[in-house]
Structure 1
Amino acid sequence: MTVTIYHNPRCSKSRTTLELLKSKGIEPAVVEYLKTPPNASELEAILAKLDMEPRDLMRKGEAAYKEAGLDNPDLDRKALIAAMVENPILIERPIVLANNKAAIGRPPENVFQIL
């Protein structure tokens, strides 16, 4: 089984999720998404696996969210995804992909649902 984690090492939830995976003997591929952000098509695939809309995957408390006016309800899917590609700090974390599914590690134990 291939497991990938979109990880931010500065985030406690992301670190805890990674530790949980390793404690179960899983060595996931680690993507530090702030350094290597997903592109628009990768984000579309992640959103489909999460069964979420782009705004649901966004960290609305980030300064970049407010500064870019992303709370504007008129923004479409494409614009919101482009904003996450341009400012990956806006992407909720951590995201774990496994078994053609995805889960957000908030709380970290959520990822066990897809393993």
Structure 2
Amino acid sequence: MTIVIHHNPGCGTSRNVLRIIRASGEEPVVIDYLKEGWTRPQLLGLFAAAGLTPREALRVARTPAEELGLTDPGVSDEALLEAMVAHPILVQRPIVCSPKGVRLCRPAEAVLDLLDNPPPEPLARQAEG
């Protein structure tokens, strides 16, 4: 099974999700989206597959979202997408893609449904600790 994780190595949840995937016996394709960046079509595809709106995928904490005026509810999805392409840190993480679906894996345990062989539950519960 091919799994892709859009990963931020500086994020504890993202690191935990990667650890859970590897503990399941899979070696995922790891995309460091802060280095690689995003494209508008890529974000649209990921959000559609995960059932997310750009607003739901917007990361506000420790990002320039507020200073860019993106937290105002009147900001359009187009403006959010444009900002996410310009500032990759604005996208919540990690987003995991597998043959079983695409999901924003917050909390880390959300990745379990995407795995063929989830690791034992105690390992999964430790992920957020």
* TM-score normalised to structure 1 length: 0.93
**Structure 2 vs 1, CA of residues 113 and 100 (structure 1 numbering), >3 Å: closer, same or farther?**
closer
Q: Provide the secondary structure at the position in 1 that maps to 2:48.
A: helix
**Counterpart-to-counterpart distance in 2, 1:57 and 1:9:** 18
Judge which range, 95-104 or 25-34, deviates more: 95-104
Gaps of 5+ in 1: none
Q: Deviations over 1:15-57 (max 9, x none)?
A: 1110110011111000000000120000000100111110100
CA contact (8 A) 2:70 2:80 kept: yes
**Counterpart-to-counterpart distance in 2, 1:43 and 1:9:** 19
**Counterpart-to-counterpart distance in 1, 2:29 and 2:102:** 14
**Counterpart-to-counterpart distance in 2, 1:38 and 1:100:** 23
Gaps of 5+ in 2: 116-129
Aligned twin of 2:85: 85
**Counterpart-to-counterpart distance in 2, 1:24 and 1:63:** 32
Cα RMSD, aligned residues only: 1.3
Q: Provide the secondary structure at the position in 2 that maps to 1:64.
A: coil
**Counterpart-to-counterpart distance in 1, 2:109 and 2:6:** 15
Aligned twin of 1:74: 74
Letter of the 1:112 partner, please give it: L
**Structure 2 vs 1, CA of residues 93 and 56 (structure 1 numbering), >3 Å: closer, same or farther?**
same
Q: Provide the secondary structure at the position in 1 that maps to 2:65.
A: helix
* Count of aligned pairs: 115
* TM-score normalised to structure 2 length: 0.83
Aligned twin of 2:104: 104
CA contact (8 A) 1:93 1:104 kept: yes
Q: Provide the secondary structure at the position in 2 that maps to 1:109.
A: helix
Q: Provide the secondary structure at the position in 2 that maps to 1:103.
A: strand
Q: Provide the secondary structure at the position in 2 that maps to 1:96.
A: strand
Aligned twin of 1:56: 56
Identity of matched residues, %? 37
Query: How much does 1:7 deviate?
Result: 0.5
